[in-house]
Structure 1
Amino acid sequence: MAVKNEVKMNLYSVSENVAIARVTSAAFAAQAEFTVNEIEDIKVAISEAISNAIIHGYRSSMGTIEFVMTLYEDWVEFIITDFGHGIEDISLARQPSFSTDPERMGLGFVFMESFMDELHVESAVNQGTTVRMIKRCEQKSVH
Protein backbone atom coordinates (compact mmCIF):
# COMPACT_ATOMS: atom_id res chain seq x y z
CA MET A 1 0.00 0.00 0.00
CA ALA A 2 2.00 2.89 -1.33
CA VAL A 3 1.37 6.38 -0.04
CA LYS A 4 0.37 8.74 -2.85
CA ASN A 5 0.28 11.92 -0.73
CA GLU A 6 0.35 13.00 2.90
CA VAL A 7 -0.27 16.21 4.81
CA LYS A 8 0.52 16.78 8.48
CA MET A 9 -0.80 19.75 10.43
CA ASN A 10 -0.59 20.97 13.99
CA LEU A 11 -3.62 22.93 15.15
CA TYR A 12 -4.16 24.87 18.37
CA SER A 13 -7.23 23.73 20.25
CA VAL A 14 -9.38 26.71 19.31
CA SER A 15 -12.80 26.44 17.70
CA GLU A 16 -11.74 28.45 14.63
CA ASN A 17 -9.51 25.55 13.59
CA VAL A 18 -12.50 23.21 13.12
CA ALA A 19 -13.36 25.08 9.90
CA ILE A 20 -9.74 24.98 8.75
CA ALA A 21 -9.61 21.21 9.28
CA ARG A 22 -12.94 20.77 7.42
CA VAL A 23 -11.83 22.72 4.36
CA THR A 24 -8.38 21.12 4.31
CA SER A 25 -9.78 17.60 4.57
CA ALA A 26 -12.22 18.30 1.73
CA ALA A 27 -9.45 19.62 -0.52
CA PHE A 28 -7.26 16.65 0.36
CA ALA A 29 -10.04 14.10 -0.23
CA ALA A 30 -10.80 15.71 -3.60
CA GLN A 31 -7.61 14.05 -4.92
CA ALA A 32 -9.56 10.79 -4.85
CA GLU A 33 -12.74 10.14 -6.82
CA PHE A 34 -15.17 10.74 -3.98
CA THR A 35 -18.63 12.07 -4.70
CA VAL A 36 -19.70 15.45 -3.37
CA ASN A 37 -21.79 13.61 -0.74
CA GLU A 38 -18.81 11.51 0.34
CA ILE A 39 -16.68 14.64 0.74
CA GLU A 40 -19.47 16.18 2.84
CA ASP A 41 -19.45 13.04 5.01
CA ILE A 42 -15.68 13.37 5.46
CA LYS A 43 -16.06 17.02 6.45
CA VAL A 44 -18.65 16.15 9.12
CA ALA A 45 -16.50 13.32 10.55
CA ILE A 46 -13.41 15.57 10.67
CA SER A 47 -15.40 18.37 12.31
CA GLU A 48 -16.61 15.98 14.99
CA ALA A 49 -13.14 14.58 15.68
CA ILE A 50 -11.46 17.99 15.88
CA SER A 51 -14.33 19.39 17.98
CA ASN A 52 -14.06 16.45 20.39
CA ALA A 53 -10.33 17.09 20.80
CA ILE A 54 -10.98 20.76 21.58
CA ILE A 55 -14.05 20.35 23.78
CA HIS A 56 -13.32 17.11 25.61
CA GLY A 57 -9.58 16.63 25.17
CA TYR A 58 -8.48 20.05 26.30
CA ARG A 59 -11.68 21.38 27.87
CA SER A 60 -10.87 25.01 28.65
CA SER A 61 -7.08 24.72 28.35
CA MET A 62 -4.91 25.33 25.27
CA GLY A 63 -3.25 22.40 23.55
CA THR A 64 -2.10 21.06 20.22
CA ILE A 65 -3.95 18.72 17.90
CA GLU A 66 -2.01 16.70 15.34
CA PHE A 67 -3.93 16.12 12.11
CA VAL A 68 -2.50 13.71 9.53
CA MET A 69 -4.17 12.97 6.19
CA THR A 70 -2.77 10.16 4.04
CA LEU A 71 -3.87 9.23 0.53
CA TYR A 72 -3.45 5.63 -0.63
CA GLU A 73 -4.43 3.99 -3.91
CA ASP A 74 -8.08 3.42 -2.98
CA TRP A 75 -8.58 4.99 0.43
CA VAL A 76 -7.85 8.02 2.57
CA GLU A 77 -6.82 7.89 6.22
CA PHE A 78 -7.32 10.70 8.73
CA ILE A 79 -5.60 10.61 12.13
CA ILE A 80 -6.46 13.20 14.79
CA THR A 81 -4.42 13.14 18.00
CA ASP A 82 -4.74 15.31 21.09
CA PHE A 83 -2.60 15.16 24.22
CA GLY A 84 -5.34 16.16 26.63
CA HIS A 85 -7.50 14.51 29.26
CA GLY A 86 -8.14 11.23 27.47
CA ILE A 87 -11.19 8.99 27.63
CA GLU A 88 -11.80 6.75 30.64
CA ASP A 89 -14.14 4.30 28.90
CA ILE A 90 -13.98 4.33 25.09
CA SER A 91 -16.88 1.88 24.61
CA LEU A 92 -19.11 4.05 26.81
CA ALA A 93 -17.97 7.23 25.01
CA ARG A 94 -18.94 5.66 21.67
CA GLN A 95 -22.53 5.05 22.81
CA PRO A 96 -25.16 7.34 21.27
CA SER A 97 -26.06 10.31 23.48
CA PHE A 98 -23.18 9.76 25.94
CA SER A 99 -21.31 12.95 26.81
CA THR A 100 -19.24 14.17 29.73
CA ASP A 101 -20.66 17.63 28.97
CA PRO A 102 -24.41 17.96 29.66
CA GLU A 103 -24.59 20.77 27.07
CA ARG A 104 -23.54 18.36 24.28
CA MET A 105 -25.61 15.78 22.38
CA GLY A 106 -22.98 13.03 22.51
CA LEU A 107 -23.22 12.06 18.84
CA GLY A 108 -19.65 12.77 17.71
CA PHE A 109 -18.46 9.17 17.53
CA VAL A 110 -21.83 8.08 16.09
CA PHE A 111 -21.40 10.55 13.21
CA MET A 112 -17.76 9.58 12.67
CA GLU A 113 -18.66 5.89 12.55
CA SER A 114 -21.63 6.36 10.23
CA PHE A 115 -19.82 8.63 7.75
CA MET A 116 -16.51 6.77 7.55
CA ASP A 117 -15.74 3.16 6.61
CA GLU A 118 -13.54 2.54 9.67
CA LEU A 119 -13.19 4.25 13.03
CA HIS A 120 -10.53 3.35 15.59
CA VAL A 121 -10.14 5.14 18.92
CA GLU A 122 -7.23 4.82 21.34
CA SER A 123 -6.99 6.81 24.54
CA ALA A 124 -5.27 6.95 27.90
CA VAL A 125 -6.41 9.13 30.80
CA ASN A 126 -4.30 12.30 31.08
CA GLN A 127 -2.31 11.31 27.97
CA GLY A 128 -4.73 12.03 25.17
CA THR A 129 -6.74 10.41 22.41
CA THR A 130 -6.07 9.28 18.86
CA VAL A 131 -8.92 8.89 16.38
CA ARG A 132 -8.13 7.08 13.12
CA MET A 133 -10.71 7.15 10.35
CA ILE A 134 -10.64 5.57 6.89
CA LYS A 135 -12.82 6.38 3.89
CA ARG A 136 -12.58 4.02 0.94
CA CYS A 137 -12.93 4.95 -2.74
CA GLU A 138 -15.07 2.01 -3.82
CA GLN A 139 -14.32 0.91 -7.39
CA LYS A 140 -12.55 4.17 -8.12
CA SER A 141 -9.00 5.07 -8.94
CA VAL A 142 -7.05 7.84 -7.27
CA HIS A 143 -5.56 10.55 -9.51
Structure 2
Amino acid sequence: MQANDVVELNIPAKPEYVGVVRLLISGLASRLGFSFDEIEDMKVAVAEACTNAVTHAYQEQEGTIQVKCLSYPNRLEIMVIDHGQSFDINRIKRHSGPINQETDIQKLYEGGLGLYLIETLMDRVEIQSKDGIMIQMTKFKEVASNDRPIQASSS
Protein backbone atom coordinates (compact mmCIF):
# COMPACT_ATOMS: atom_id res chain seq x y z
CA MET A 1 0.00 0.00 0.00
CA GLN A 2 1.36 3.39 -1.00
CA ALA A 3 1.61 6.14 1.61
CA ASN A 4 -0.90 8.98 1.38
CA ASP A 5 1.75 11.59 2.18
CA VAL A 6 5.48 11.60 2.82
CA VAL A 7 7.04 14.30 4.99
CA GLU A 8 10.82 14.54 5.37
CA LEU A 9 12.97 16.66 7.64
CA ASN A 10 16.77 16.84 7.75
CA ILE A 11 18.31 18.31 10.89
CA PRO A 12 21.84 18.75 12.20
CA ALA A 13 22.71 16.00 14.71
CA LYS A 14 22.60 18.45 17.61
CA PRO A 15 20.45 18.27 20.77
CA GLU A 16 18.81 21.64 20.14
CA TYR A 17 17.04 20.28 17.03
CA VAL A 18 15.33 17.30 18.73
CA GLY A 19 12.49 19.62 19.81
CA VAL A 20 11.89 20.54 16.16
CA VAL A 21 11.33 16.86 15.35
CA ARG A 22 8.93 16.52 18.30
CA LEU A 23 6.92 19.47 16.90
CA LEU A 24 6.83 17.86 13.45
CA ILE A 25 5.50 14.59 14.88
CA SER A 26 2.96 16.38 17.05
CA GLY A 27 1.57 18.43 14.18
CA LEU A 28 1.51 15.60 11.68
CA ALA A 29 -0.03 13.02 14.04
CA SER A 30 -2.63 15.54 15.21
CA ARG A 31 -3.61 16.26 11.60
CA LEU A 32 -3.98 12.51 11.01
CA GLY A 33 -6.39 12.13 13.93
CA PHE A 34 -4.24 10.35 16.53
CA SER A 35 -5.25 10.70 20.18
CA PHE A 36 -3.34 12.88 22.63
CA ASP A 37 -1.80 9.79 24.32
CA GLU A 38 -0.75 8.28 20.98
CA ILE A 39 0.87 11.57 19.97
CA GLU A 40 2.74 11.81 23.27
CA ASP A 41 4.01 8.23 22.86
CA MET A 42 5.26 8.99 19.35
CA LYS A 43 6.96 12.21 20.45
CA VAL A 44 8.84 10.42 23.23
CA ALA A 45 9.85 7.49 20.98
CA VAL A 46 11.07 9.75 18.17
CA ALA A 47 12.94 12.00 20.61
CA GLU A 48 14.69 8.90 22.02
CA ALA A 49 15.69 7.77 18.52
CA CYS A 50 16.99 11.24 17.64
CA THR A 51 18.82 11.59 20.95
CA ASN A 52 20.52 8.23 20.36
CA ALA A 53 21.70 9.49 16.96
CA VAL A 54 22.88 12.81 18.41
CA THR A 55 24.74 11.06 21.25
CA HIS A 56 26.26 8.05 19.50
CA ALA A 57 26.27 8.35 15.70
CA TYR A 58 28.89 10.92 14.88
CA GLN A 59 31.32 10.89 17.84
CA GLU A 60 32.29 14.60 17.93
CA GLN A 61 31.88 14.98 14.14
CA GLU A 62 29.22 16.97 12.34
CA GLY A 63 26.39 14.98 10.84
CA THR A 64 22.71 15.00 10.02
CA ILE A 65 19.62 13.10 11.01
CA GLN A 66 16.87 12.42 8.51
CA VAL A 67 13.31 11.99 9.76
CA LYS A 68 10.89 10.54 7.24
CA CYS A 69 7.16 10.18 8.00
CA LEU A 70 4.78 8.15 5.87
CA SER A 71 1.06 8.49 6.56
CA TYR A 72 -1.46 5.76 5.81
CA PRO A 73 -5.18 5.60 6.59
CA ASN A 74 -4.55 3.38 9.64
CA ARG A 75 -1.01 4.23 10.76
CA LEU A 76 1.97 6.56 10.78
CA GLU A 77 5.43 5.20 9.97
CA ILE A 78 8.39 7.24 11.18
CA MET A 79 12.00 6.60 10.19
CA VAL A 80 14.94 8.18 11.99
CA ILE A 81 18.09 7.74 9.90
CA ASP A 82 21.71 8.66 10.53
CA HIS A 83 24.82 7.78 8.56
CA GLY A 84 27.17 7.73 11.51
CA GLN A 85 28.70 4.98 13.56
CA SER A 86 26.64 1.78 13.78
CA PHE A 87 26.23 -0.33 16.91
CA ASP A 88 25.68 -3.99 17.71
CA ILE A 89 21.88 -4.19 17.93
CA ASN A 90 21.85 -7.72 19.36
CA ARG A 91 24.28 -6.78 22.16
CA ILE A 92 22.17 -3.77 23.11
CA LYS A 93 18.92 -5.77 23.04
CA ARG A 94 20.39 -8.47 25.29
CA HIS A 95 20.94 -5.84 27.97
CA SER A 96 17.81 -3.75 27.45
CA GLY A 97 14.50 -4.20 29.14
CA PRO A 98 12.74 -3.33 32.35
CA ILE A 99 14.81 -2.93 35.48
CA ASN A 100 14.25 -5.55 38.15
CA GLN A 101 13.96 -4.05 41.63
CA GLU A 102 16.31 -6.68 43.04
CA THR A 103 19.12 -5.84 40.59
CA ASP A 104 22.14 -4.21 42.16
CA ILE A 105 22.46 -0.69 40.74
CA GLN A 106 26.17 -1.31 40.13
CA LYS A 107 25.28 -4.12 37.70
CA LEU A 108 22.91 -2.12 35.50
CA TYR A 109 23.98 -1.93 31.86
CA GLU A 110 24.34 1.57 30.49
CA GLY A 111 22.50 1.89 27.20
CA GLY A 112 19.61 0.10 25.60
CA LEU A 113 16.88 1.59 27.77
CA GLY A 114 16.07 4.10 25.03
CA LEU A 115 15.48 1.26 22.57
CA TYR A 116 13.36 -0.55 25.14
CA LEU A 117 11.31 2.61 25.63
CA ILE A 118 10.85 3.04 21.86
CA GLU A 119 9.68 -0.57 21.51
CA THR A 120 7.28 -0.14 24.44
CA LEU A 121 5.69 3.06 23.10
CA MET A 122 5.37 2.11 19.43
CA ASP A 123 3.39 -0.75 17.86
CA ARG A 124 6.16 -1.96 15.54
CA VAL A 125 9.89 -1.17 15.57
CA GLU A 126 12.51 -2.29 13.08
CA ILE A 127 16.20 -1.40 13.28
CA GLN A 128 18.70 -1.63 10.44
CA SER A 129 22.39 -1.00 10.90
CA LYS A 130 23.81 -0.68 7.42
CA ASP A 131 25.68 2.55 6.60
CA GLY A 132 24.55 4.04 9.90
CA ILE A 133 21.32 3.33 11.76
CA MET A 134 17.71 3.44 10.66
CA ILE A 135 14.98 3.04 13.26
CA GLN A 136 11.57 2.56 11.67
CA MET A 137 8.67 3.00 14.08
CA THR A 138 4.99 2.44 13.37
CA LYS A 139 2.00 3.62 15.38
CA PHE A 140 -1.45 2.32 14.44
CA LYS A 141 -4.51 4.48 15.01
CA GLU A 142 -6.77 3.26 17.79
CA VAL A 143 -10.09 2.01 16.50
CA ALA A 144 -13.16 2.76 18.62
CA SER A 145 -14.87 -0.60 18.07
CA ASN A 146 -13.73 -4.21 18.21
CA ASP A 147 -12.06 -3.72 14.83
CA ARG A 148 -8.70 -2.90 16.45
CA PRO A 149 -5.68 -3.49 14.23
CA ILE A 150 -3.52 -6.48 15.03
CA GLN A 151 -0.49 -5.22 16.93
CA ALA A 152 2.70 -6.49 15.33
CA SER A 153 5.61 -7.40 17.58
CA SER A 154 8.95 -5.66 17.21
CA SER A 155 11.67 -7.36 15.26
Q: Give me the TM-score of the superposition, normalised by structure 2.
A: 0.79
| Alignment check: 8 A CA contact 2:79 2:135 kept | yes
- Alignment length, in residue pairs? 132
Which structure is higher in RCO with an 8 Å CA cutoff and minimum separation 6? 1
Q: Verify the 8 A CA contact 2:96 2:116 in the aligned structure 1.
A: yes
Match of 1:137 in 2: 141
CA deviations 1:86-132 (Å, max 9, x no partner) are 11x212223327xxxx9x654110111000000000103xx311110
Give me the whole-angstrom Cα distance separating, in 2, the residues matched to 1:36 and 1:91. Answer: 33
Q: Which has the larger radius of gyration?
A: 2
Matches of 2:36 and 2:18, distance apart in 1 = 20
Unaligned runs of 5+ in 1: none
Counterpart Cα distance in 1 of 2:20 and 2:92? 25
Residues 9-48 of structure 1: per-residue CA shift (max 9 Å, x gap)? 1111110111101111111111222211110000000000
Structure 2 residue runs of 5 or longer lacking an equivalent are 98-107, 145-155
Partners of 2:92 and 2:5 lie apart in 1 by 32
Aligned residue number for residue 62 of structure 2 = 62
1:119 and 2:125 matched: yes
Moved over 4 A (4+): none
Aligned to 2:5: 5
Compare the two structures and name the one with the higher strand fraction.
Answer: 1
What residue number does 2:40 align with? 40
Percent sequence identity is 31
Query: Is the contact made by 2:12 and 2:64 (CA closer than 8 Å) also made in structure 1?
Result: yes
Asked if 1:91 corresponds to 2:90, the answer is: yes
Computed over aligned residues only, the root mean square deviation of the Cα atoms, in angstroms, reads: 1.8
